[in-house]
């Protein structure tokens, strides 16, 4: 007989109304005008796909009173997000842009401001991963990943910051892969880690006009992209996550809502890991 005491079964973190995307609106962004870059969504299985981070943020921002410019390189995906918003009485429009192309970034910013009237906030929800391990990380893959994950956000901030309203906010969506090895993709990990340096510099340059910049670093989130990643790396699904479950796109969206709202008016230059404690206690 073993003398080791048995552990009680682990309880999963409960799915709150916020985590399910059904919490009532409180008008926390009333009158705000936001650009969300990467507001569309990939389709893995249209019948079963959960909401992605970008679409959840757009829908939640609009539900809380913001007018949202939904930018994505996939026009149909952006249009679907807009349709989800307007069908519920929200205000949104789509902008097609590929942030690997500098000219399209300039056009995106101009179009967003013309239609919004002003720009109070930007969310940069972009990122690709490629090149497994160092062996599979070619110079071409490295350049492609950093072009989209790092250069693109830099160029968006460079173009948009002078035109933003004072007192606004910029939010970068990173990953806990920026804090600990895990994706097995060196270019992805490196680009997301470098995003923190970019964010802090943006916060420094923006501070005289009271524009804040912060990062959300999601952990394992049940999104279409997350499910696609699991198909490529099945071990991802076996990760020992605190709380016993993956997060939802709505949980990322509510963290973003906080950081983009006046409730976070004294939070600047910070990284918020939304990962159930995976980086802290595992």
pLDDT in tens, 10-30: 688 999 999 999 999 999 999
What is the residue-averaged pLDDT of the chain? 93
Euclidean distance between CA atoms 188 and 130, whole angstroms: 7
Is the model more confident about 58 or about 1?
58
For residue 229, pLDDT over 90 is answered with no
**Do 224 and 43 form a contact (C-beta atoms < 8 A)?**
yes
Predicted confidence band of residue 143 (pLDDT cuts 50, 70, 90): very high
Domain of residue 62: give its range. 28-281
For residue 90, pLDDT over 60 is answered with yes
- What's 94's domain CATH number? 3.40.50.720
Overall average pLDDT of the 154-158 stretch: 98
Question: pLDDT of 91-136, one tens digit each?
Answer: 999 999 999 999 999 999 999 999 999 999 999 999 998 999 999 9
Write down the pLDDT at residue 242: 87
Q: What percent of the chain has pLDDT over 70?
A: 95
Token duo for residue 148: 């989209």
Which among 41, 87, 84, 92 has a CA at the least distance from the CA of 66? Answer: 92
Q: Give the SS3 label for residue 147.
A: helix
Write down the pLDDT at residue 6: 56
Could you tell me if residue 101 is inside a domain?
yes
Token duo for residue 41: 């969504």
Could you tell me if residue 3 is inside a domain?
no
If you ran DSSP here, which 8-state letter would residue 162 be given? Answer: G
Write down the pLDDT at residue 147: 97
Could you tell me if residue 84 is inside a domain?
yes
Is the model more confident about 182 or about 200?
200
From the DSSP assignment, how many helices (H) and strands (E) are in the chain? 10, 9
State the catalytic residues.
188
Could you tell me if residue 269 is inside a domain?
yes
Could you tell me if residue 230 is inside a domain?
yes
Could you tell me if residue 258 is inside a domain?
yes
Number of domains in the chain: 1
Token duo for residue 172: 């970068």
For residue 8, pLDDT over 70 is answered with no
Predicted confidence band of residue 182 (pLDDT cuts 50, 70, 90): confident
Could you tell me if residue 115 is inside a domain?
yes
Kindly tell me the burial class for residue 208, based on how many C-beta atoms sit within 10 Å of its own C-beta (0-12, 13-18, 19 or more): exposed
The pTM of the full predicted model, rounded to 2 decimals, is: 0.93
Predicted confidence band of residue 42 (pLDDT cuts 50, 70, 90): confident
Write down the pLDDT at residue 1: 46
Could you tell me if residue 53 is inside a domain?
yes
For residue 201, pLDDT over 90 is answered with yes
Q: Give the SS3 label for residue 184.
A: coil
Is the model more confident about 74 or about 182?
74
For residue 187, pLDDT over 80 is answered with yes
Write down the pLDDT at residue 145: 96
């Amino acid at each position: 007989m073993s003398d080791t005491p048995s552990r009680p079964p682990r309880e999963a973190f409960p799915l709150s109304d916020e985590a399910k995307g059904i919490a009532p609106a409180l008008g926390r962004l009333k009158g705000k005008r936001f650009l969300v870059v990467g507001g569309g969504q990939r389709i893995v299985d249209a019948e079963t796909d959960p909401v992605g981070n970008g679409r959840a943020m757009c829908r939640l921002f609009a539900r809380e009173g913001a007018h949202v410019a939904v930018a994505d390189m996939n026009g149909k995906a952006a249009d679907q997000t807009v349709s989800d918003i307007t069908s519920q009485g929200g205000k949104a429009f789509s902008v097609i842009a590929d942030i690997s192309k500098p000219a399209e970034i300039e056009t995106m910013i101009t179009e967003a401001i013309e239609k919004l009237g002003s720009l109070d906030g930007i969310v940069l929800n972009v990122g690709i991963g490629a090149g497994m391990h160092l062996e599979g990380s070619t110079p071409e893959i490295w350049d492609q990943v950093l072009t989209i994950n790092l250069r693109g956000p830099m160029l968006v901030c460079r173009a948009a910051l002078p035109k933003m309203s004072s007192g606004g906010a910029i939010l970068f969506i990173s990953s806990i892969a920026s804090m600990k090895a895990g994706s097995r993709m060196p270019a992805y990990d490196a680009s997301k880690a470098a995003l923190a340096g970019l964010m802090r510099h943006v916060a420094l340059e923006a501070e005289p006009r009271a524009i804040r910049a912060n990062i959300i670093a999601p952990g394992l989130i049940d999104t279409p992209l997350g499910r696609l990643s699991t198909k490529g790396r099945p071990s991802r699904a076996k990760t020992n996550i605190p709380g016993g479950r993956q997060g939802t796109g709505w949980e990322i969206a509510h963290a973003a809502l906080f950081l983009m709202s006046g409730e976070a008016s004294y939070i600047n230059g910070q990284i918020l890991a939304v990962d159930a404690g995976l980086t802290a206690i595992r």
